[in-house]
Amino acid sequence: MVVKIALALAISLLLDGAISAQELPAPQRSEQETNAPKLPSARELYEEAARYATRRFEEFDKKKLAFDRKLYEKTLQEQRELAQTRAAQLSMRPNLAGEDLYYLGLLFDLAGQAEGSLDALRRFLREASNAPGEMKQTARVIIAIHAAQLKELKEAEQMLAEYQRNEPRKAQEIFALERTLTSACYQAKDEDCALRHARAAFETAKQSYAALDPAQRDRFLLAAADDLSIIYALHNQRDELLGVLRELQRLGLKLPSAELFRQATRRLRNYDGAEAEDLSNPERAIQQNEESAPAPEIQAAEWIDTKPVRLADLRGRVVLLDFWAYWCGPCLEAFPKLREWHQKYKDRGLTIIGLTRYYGAERGIPMAPKEELNFLREFKKRFKLPYGIGIEATEETALRYGVSSLPTSILIDRRGMVRFITVGINDEELDKLGQWIEKLIAEPAPDEARKAITQ
The stretch 259-280 carries a mean pLDDT of 77
pLDDT over 50 (residue 31): no
pLDDT over 90 (residue 450): no
Tell me which of 98-102, 162-166, 377-381, 449-453 is least confident.
Answer: 449-453
Q: Which residues contact 295 (CB under 8 A, 6 or more apart)?
A: 256, 311, 319, 401, 410, 412, 416, 417, 418
Question: 209 vs 356, which has greater pLDDT?
Answer: 356
Residue 110 banded pLDDT, cuts 50, 70, 90: very high
Pair 407, 420: CB distance under 8 Å: no
Pair 401, 408: CB distance under 8 Å: yes
Residue 240 banded pLDDT, cuts 50, 70, 90: very high
pLDDT value at position 272?
A: 62
pLDDT over 70 (residue 403): yes
The stretch 200-209 carries a mean pLDDT of 93
Residue 446 banded pLDDT, cuts 50, 70, 90: confident
Residue 213 banded pLDDT, cuts 50, 70, 90: confident
Question: 12 vs 361, which has greater pLDDT?
Answer: 361
Residue 275 banded pLDDT, cuts 50, 70, 90: low
Q: What is the pLDDT of residues 349-379, one digit of tens each?
A: 999 999 999 999 988 899 999 999 999 999 9
Strand (E) or helix (H) holding 365 = strand 365-366
The topology under which CATH files domain 302-454 is Glutaredoxin (3.40.30)
CA distance readout (Å), 40 to 86, 131, 431: 10, 20, 68
Question: 280 vs 318, which has greater pLDDT?
Answer: 318
Q: What is the pLDDT of residues 297-344, one digit of tens each?
A: 999 999 999 999 999 999 999 999 999 999 999 999 999 999 999 999
Q: Domain ranges in the chain?
A: 74-275, 302-454
Torsional sign, CA 354, 358, 361, 367? positive
pLDDT over 70 (residue 430): yes
pLDDT value at position 448?
A: 52
Look up the pTM and report it: 0.81
pLDDT over 50 (residue 24): no
Rounded to 5 degrees, φ, ψ at 292 are -75, 150
The stretch 220-249 carries a mean pLDDT of 95
Cis peptide before 407 (omega within 30 of 0): yes
pLDDT over 80 (residue 7): no
pLDDT over 70 (residue 32): no
Short-list 227, 449, 425, CA closest to 332: 425
The stretch 130-135 carries a mean pLDDT of 96
In angstroms, the CA 186 to CA 193 distance is: 8
Q: How does DSSP classify residue 203?
A: H
Residue 38 banded pLDDT, cuts 50, 70, 90: confident
The stretch 148-161 carries a mean pLDDT of 98
Short-list 109, 112, 45, CA closest to 124: 109
CB atoms under 10 Å from CB of 444, counted, come to 12
What share of the chain in percent tops pLDDT 90?
Answer: 80
Per CATH, the number for 74-275 is 1.25.40.10
In angstroms, the CA 451 to CA 325 distance is: 41
Using alpha carbons only, give the angle 402, 403, 406 rounded to the nearest 5 degrees: 170
In angstroms, the CA 336 to CA 426 distance is: 13
pLDDT value at position 174?
A: 97
Tell me which of 19-33, 199-213, 371-385 is least confident.
Answer: 19-33
pLDDT value at position 290?
A: 54
pLDDT value at position 288?
A: 52
Averaged pLDDT score across all residues of the chain: 89
pLDDT over 50 (residue 122): yes
pLDDT value at position 277?
A: 54
pLDDT value at position 36?
A: 58
Residue 37 banded pLDDT, cuts 50, 70, 90: confident
